[in-house]
Amino acid sequence: MKIVLIVPNYLDSAVLISASFYPPLGIAMVGASLQKHGYDVSIIDATAERMNIHALTRAVSRLKPDMIGFTTNISYAHKTTLTARWLKHYLPGIPIVFGGPWATSRPEYLLSINAIDYVVLGEGEETIVDLAHAIERKLDVSDVAGIAYRRDGKVIKTTPRPFNENLDALPFPAWDLLPGHEKYFWDPKGRHYYPVMTSRGCPYGCINCSKLVHGYKLRYRSVENVMAEIRYIHDRFKADEVIIIDDGFNFDIDRAERICDEITRLGFKIHLRFTNGLRADKITPRLAYK
C-alpha cells in the first residue's frame, strides 16, 4: 500500500514563517510509524519545495497513492482544506485523512467537507497504522480507535485511543523522507537544526496548547532514548541545533539537566533552542548555566 503524506504550501498564508518553518516533526513521526509497519511512504512538503497546487497534484499523481494524509494547524487550515478539495477533484477515489491538533479539535467541520474522509483524533502514530490496515483490507473502520469519519451523512467518532505511555517505543522521525535541510528556514548562523520531542503532556490549561492531542499527564522519553535520537540526527544529518518542542521540558529539572549533561559529555557541539515549553518559573540557576 502506497501512502503519501502532505504538508501544503502555506507560504502565502497569514503565518509567521520565520517562527514556524522548520522540518515538520509530526508528519515525520507518522511517516516513520507507517514505514515501521511495512507501508510504502512518501512525504511531500510543498512549502519546503515551493510547490504550487499544480506541481503538487502532478507529484502526487506520479506516486499513485492508495491513501493521502494531511497535517494541518489553525494558521494554514484554510490552505490545507483547499488543497484537499483540489486533490479529491483530480484524484477521486483515494481516501484523504487529516490529522494534527487543529484536526483533533474540529472533526465535525472537516468532515462536512466531502473531500475529507477520515480525521485522526489525538496522537496519530498508532492510529494511522490501524486505519491504513483497515483501508487496505477493506475492513470496518469503526473498529479503529481514535478516528472520526462520515457515515450516512453523520459524523461518527470511534472509541478514544489511550495516550501512548511508552514514548521510547516510537521510531525516530523519518527525516530521510523530507527535503534536505537547505530547503527549510535559513538560519543566520548557518546551523542545521531539527525538532525533537522528549516528552508529551502538560498539567496546565492554556487555550492555545496541544492538550487535546497530548493530554494533561506528563509522559517522558528516557534520557537514553532522547540521546540516541540526538546522536542519530547529529551523525546522519549533521544537526548542530535541536529545537525542543515539549510543552514542559523543565518540569522535571533533574531529567532536563541530565539531557544537557549528556550532550556535553558526548562532545556534541549542539545548541538547544526552545520555541515554547521552557517554563521561566521552573528554571534553576544550574539549568540556565547549562
Question: How far apart are alpha carbons 165 and 238 in whole angstroms?
Answer: 30
Q: Tell me the Ramachandran region of residue 146: left when phi exceeds 0, alpha when psi lies from -120 to 50, beta otherwise.
A: left
Binning pLDDT at 50, 70 and 90, where does residue 20 land?
very low
Given a cut of 50, is residue 18 above it in pLDDT? no
pLDDT band (50, 70, 90) for residue 19: very low
Instruction: Provide mean pLDDT across the span 12-39.
Output: 80
Calculate ∠ Cα 128-131-137, nearest 5°. Answer: 140
pLDDT tier, 12 (very low <50, low <70, confident <90, very high otherwise):
low
CB atoms within 10 A of CB 160: 11
Please tell me the predicted confidence (pLDDT) of residue 187.
Answer: 64
Helix (H) / strand (E) element for 84: namely helix 77-90
- The overall average pLDDT reported for the chain is 90
- Cell matching residue 92: 477521486
pLDDT in tens, 88-111: 999 999 999 999 989 999 999 999
64 grid coordinates = 499513485
> Percent of the chain scored above 90 by pLDDT?
67
pLDDT in tens, 141-161: 999 999 999 999 999 999 999
Residue 187 has a CB neighbour count (10 Å cut-off) of: 14
DSSP letter at 75? G
Task: Express as a percent the part of the chain with pLDDT over 70.
Answer: 92
How does pLDDT run across 152-188, given as a tens digit for each residue? 999 999 999 999 999 999 999 999 999 877 777 656 6
In the predicted structure, residue 11 carries a pLDDT above the cut 80: no
Q: Which residue has the higher pLDDT, 91 or 239?
A: 91
**In this structure, what are the phi and psi dihedrals at residue 230, rounded to the nearest 5 degrees?**
-60, -40
The pLDDT of residue 211 is above 80: no
**Domains of the chain and CATH, by start:** 2-157 (3.40.50.280), 187-289 (3.30.750.210)
